[in-house]
Structure 1
Amino acid sequence: MTNIREHFLNEVMQYIKSREAKEIVYKELSYHLEKSKSELVSKAVPQNKAEEQVIKQMGNPSKLGTHFNKLYRPVFDWKLFGLFIIIISMGILPIINADGFSMARQIINIVLGILVTITFMLIDYRKIKKLGWLFLIVAFGFLLALNFFPNAMINGVSIIRIMGFTISGISLLPILLVFWAFYLSKEKPNLIVIYSVYLISVILFMRLSNFTDVFIYSVLVLTLFLSSSINKMTIYKTIGVYFGLLLTYVSVFWFTAKELQKIRLLAFLNPAEYQHNEGFIYLVLKDFRTQSGWFGHKQLPKYYIQELATDMVFANIMYFYGWLVSGFLLVLLSLLFYRMVILSIQIKDRFGKQLIIGVCSLLSVQFVFNVGTVLGLLPHISISLPFISYGLTPCNC
């Protein structure tokens, strides 16, 4: 009778295209058939008849196979893609009023961004799960290259330029995201591995003298750590120790830092007192906020800064296009993150869930700090606005 079951299962598998889906469905149906058969046998039904009856109850194998093929087929989320298209297209707006920046290059970046996004949305993300460790090796390889073999520098930060492409610390975060999503989606991830990989990678990032990357990376790892299957008490203890060490580091840094380093924070608290150095950017942003109006301005502002096409693109849109357009952009970005949160709830696969949570974390922390800086709520640090900043990353400009 086992031959009858195998024949039925093989017929179902013929209608399923994905190899991974075939494995899942085969195990699922085999378990269900065996369980149903055992229930009938326990009611004194002969094994041969029990198996025949269970298979008959499953229905037509072609319909069943077609159903599972649709169920496990990668779904293209048109709502998410539509929001992304509108947002990334708005990246043209800041370049219209910026000097020294190529409109053609920004359009090329937008088109490439759309093509890459379509590719990633169409492929079966489960196929890259097996390559988790490879992603970590590649990321560490580039981090070592940035530390010891950079071929260019931007504002004191090491980068590598290859055939027109720029590799910086922040451009490696998506690669590390895949590793962390893979490893923290395990049932029992090893804490020693987690701590070791995080510490080594943070040390390599800190050697690049770009603490913004360290901050974004730490938020990413912390978010995925919180959403993992690790015991909650262990998570709370780890977070407690982490923030304790962070507080100690900040305290030591404050009392040992040079005056110039302290001025950056003091300028945020009292920009007028430091208007000739670090406070200047805060005063310029304040003028932009007060002068923007609902529909913006056509003439250039009194003080034009290069960051208006890079890190401060939201200020650019706010000043030249007004609160209506900038508010529309904020709504679109908020809807994008909301849609990603909904998807993370709907996806049952732990790896897929971690991937979406990681992407949402990676983008939202940049969104919050960039907009927060422009609105005067947070101190100025070099963080780009997702999908909008010139070159798509801060180091491409």
Structure 2
Amino acid sequence: MKDSKKQHFLKEVTHQIKSKEAKNYVAKELTYHLKETEKTWMEKGCSETEAEEKAIEQMGNPTKLGISMNQLYRPKVDWWIIILLGLSLLMGFLPLLSLEYKDYFIGHKAIIVVIGALVAVGIMFVDYRKWEKRGWFFYAVGVMILLAIRYLPNRIINGVPHIEVGPLAIENLMSIPFFLLAWASFFNHHQVKVWKLIGLFIVPIFMFLALPSMTSVYIYTLMIFVMLCWSKLNRKTIMTIFTIAISSIIILGTILWNYLHEYQKVRLLAFFNPEDYSTGAGYINLKLDEILTNSNWFGNSAGGEFIPEAHTSFVFVTSIYYYGWLLGIVLVLILSMFAVRIIFVSFSIKDSYGKLLLIGTVALYLAQLATNIAMTLGLFPLVGISLPFMSYGLMPTLLNAILIGVVLSVYRRKDFLVVA
């Protein structure tokens, strides 16, 4: 057969490679180089058969080459991220130890931690490169989740519609990872109509507002803007989108203010002047400030202080009050290391789609981390944003586990350039 020698050579090389993904990648890469080398020899006057033999000979010993390729293209595991994930998930148990019904919460937290870890590791083994051509599919999934929550909710939690499926209470934030995958695909192409991008951006905004969920609007918008800066679009297009988007948000915000419920307006005003609303919307702001002021470096083992939403939104306050500012600082450092590590990894990623995924992931992660800490310190209005891996709940853990899984998937294939 015409390609028998070539196929035999490739088989010998790939036989030394353990990873199936790496085998496919190396086979494609070597096939390309063999063809290019054959062309060179044929241009020098060799016959097709002679050119093939010389190309194979030039590649060297297939066994040694295979061993070398196995070392070079072996799928990577980002152990730094794995270690940080383990530490964060374990530290999430600390605030629960101070709760009255700690046995109940700790038992459920253990299940949540296991599920989160399995999801993150499971996604690591999925080849992220296969997602790049499915941007529209992921966008449609995100939209369908929002439509289902808007029109088919079967549970209301704190006034927010959810879809309850067994132990899962799916909220609108679970659409965000799908929009992340979609926008990474959209931004990875040069020739995309500006009007189409603006339309795709605005549709989820209106859907989030219809729920309503200003928190999701904030996180989604921040993610898009950060990814836009790293997209393949030219600077003029980026500036045009920025201008139109920001103008639309300002106009929309002005209009929406007139349609907000009174309690929503009061909640925002209470952030600026909590003393004027001390018996109402400003109570939590003042209470959190009081708790943090009375906290010391090493915590209060006696406890006794009432902390609103102690195991969810204000778990950071709980950690500081019971374990001290020292632990709070350590906690912030550990959680911040996720972002530092992801940014560091992004510099080593050659694939533009993978890089966009990491940029979007770090934007989503930092939006949660910075906002939650800022609002507990009185630097940001109170919103429903959890502290990554610390706040109790399956959905917040799943959301961030998916993000970490995406990072691990990209890192695992950081040396692969050929799209699968």
Give the alignment's TM-score, normalised by structure 1: 0.88
Q: Distance in 2 between matches of 1:216 and 1:207?
A: 16
The match for 1:364 among 343, 353, 366 is: 366
Residue in 2 aligned with 1:150? 153
Match of 1:379, SS?
coil
- In structure 2, do the counterparts of structure 1 residues 137 and 258 end up closer, same or farther at CA, with 3 Å as the change threshold? closer
What is the correspondence of 1:36-47 to structure 2 with a 5 Å cutoff?
36-39=37-40, 44=44, 46-47=46-47
The match for 2:183 among 180, 183, 186 is: 180
Q: 1:358 Cα shift?
A: 2.1
The match for 1:110 among 113, 127, 141 is: 113
- In structure 2, do the counterparts of structure 1 residues 394 and 343 end up closer, same or farther at CA, with 3 Å as the change threshold? closer
Q: Distance in 1 between matches of 2:391 and 2:375?
A: 14
Q: Distance in 2 between matches of 1:327 and 1:3?
A: 63
Q: 1:228 Cα shift?
A: 1.8
- In structure 2, do the counterparts of structure 1 residues 258 and 170 end up closer, same or farther at CA, with 3 Å as the change threshold? closer
Residue in 2 aligned with 1:33? 34
Q: 1:18 Cα shift?
A: 5.8
Residue in 1 aligned with 2:246? 243
Q: 1:273 Cα shift?
A: 2.0
Aligned length: 394
Q: Distance in 2 between matches of 1:372 and 1:198?
A: 27
CA displacement, residues 288-329 of structure 1 (integer Å, 9 cap, x when unaligned): 221111101123354x24312110100110111101111111
Match of 1:311, SS?
coil
Residue in 2 aligned with 1:300? 303
- In structure 2, do the counterparts of structure 1 residues 352 and 72 end up closer, same or farther at CA, with 3 Å as the change threshold? farther
CA displacement, residues 70-100 of structure 1 (integer Å, 9 cap, x when unaligned): 4444311111100110011111111122245
- In structure 2, do the counterparts of structure 1 residues 193 and 250 end up closer, same or farther at CA, with 3 Å as the change threshold? closer
| Residues 346, 359 of structure 2: 8 Å contact kept | yes
Residue in 2 aligned with 1:74? 75
Q: CA RMSD in A?
A: 2.8
What is the correspondence of 1:1-397 to structure 2 with a 5 Å cutoff?
4-16=5-17, 21-22=22-23, 24-39=25-40, 44=44, 46-47=46-47, 51-99=52-100, 102-254=105-257, 260-302=263-305, 304-393=306-395
- In structure 2, do the counterparts of structure 1 residues 8 and 187 end up closer, same or farther at CA, with 3 Å as the change threshold? farther
Q: Distance in 1 between matches of 2:352 and 2:123?
A: 18
Letter in 2 for 1:33: L
Q: Which runs of 4+ in 1 moved over 6 A?
A: none
Q: 1:45 Cα shift?
A: 5.8
Q: Distance in 1 between matches of 2:261 and 2:170?
A: 31
Q: Distance in 1 between matches of 2:335 and 2:224?
A: 22
Residue range with higher mean Cα deviation, 145-154 or 253-262: 253-262
Q: 1:359 Cα shift?
A: 2.0
Q: 1:180 Cα shift?
A: 2.4
| Residues 384, 393 of structure 1: 8 Å contact kept | no
Match of 1:139, SS?
helix
Match of 1:306, SS?
coil
Match of 1:160, SS?
strand
Percent sequence identity over matched residues? Answer: 36
CA displacement, residues 6-38 of structure 1 (integer Å, 9 cap, x when unaligned): 543444344456666555444433443344455
| Residues 168, 395 of structure 2: 8 Å contact kept | no
Q: 1:254 Cα shift?
A: 4.6
Where relative contact order (Cα < 8 A, 6+ residues apart) is larger, the structure is 2
CA displacement, residues 206-246 of structure 1 (integer Å, 9 cap, x when unaligned): 11111101211122222222222112220121011111222
Q: Distance in 1 between matches of 2:140 and 2:258?
A: 37
Residue range with higher mean Cα deviation, 123-132 or 163-172: 123-132
Letter in 1 for 2:387: L
Residue segments in structure 1 that go unaligned for 5+ positions in a row? none
Letter in 2 for 1:157: V
Residue range with higher mean Cα deviation, 224-233 or 129-138: 129-138
CA displacement, residues 158-202 of structure 1 (integer Å, 9 cap, x when unaligned): 101111111010122223322223333345445454333322222
Match of 2:92, SS?
helix
Q: 1:122 Cα shift?
A: 3.1
| Residues 159, 166 of structure 1: 8 Å contact kept | yes
- In structure 2, do the counterparts of structure 1 residues 373 and 317 end up closer, same or farther at CA, with 3 Å as the change threshold? same
Give the alignment's TM-score, normalised by structure 2: 0.84
Q: 1:395 Cα shift?
A: 11
- In structure 2, do the counterparts of structure 1 residues 395 and 273 end up closer, same or farther at CA, with 3 Å as the change threshold? farther
- In structure 2, do the counterparts of structure 1 residues 64 and 182 end up closer, same or farther at CA, with 3 Å as the change threshold? farther
| Residues 16, 22 of structure 1: 8 Å contact kept | yes
| Residues 389, 396 of structure 2: 8 Å contact kept | no
Match of 1:300, SS?
coil
- In structure 2, do the counterparts of structure 1 residues 214 and 395 end up closer, same or farther at CA, with 3 Å as the change threshold? farther
Residue range with higher mean Cα deviation, 121-130 or 221-230: 121-130
- In structure 2, do the counterparts of structure 1 residues 167 and 373 end up closer, same or farther at CA, with 3 Å as the change threshold? same
Q: Distance in 1 between matches of 2:20 and 2:133?
A: 14
Q: Distance in 2 between matches of 1:177 and 1:69?
A: 32
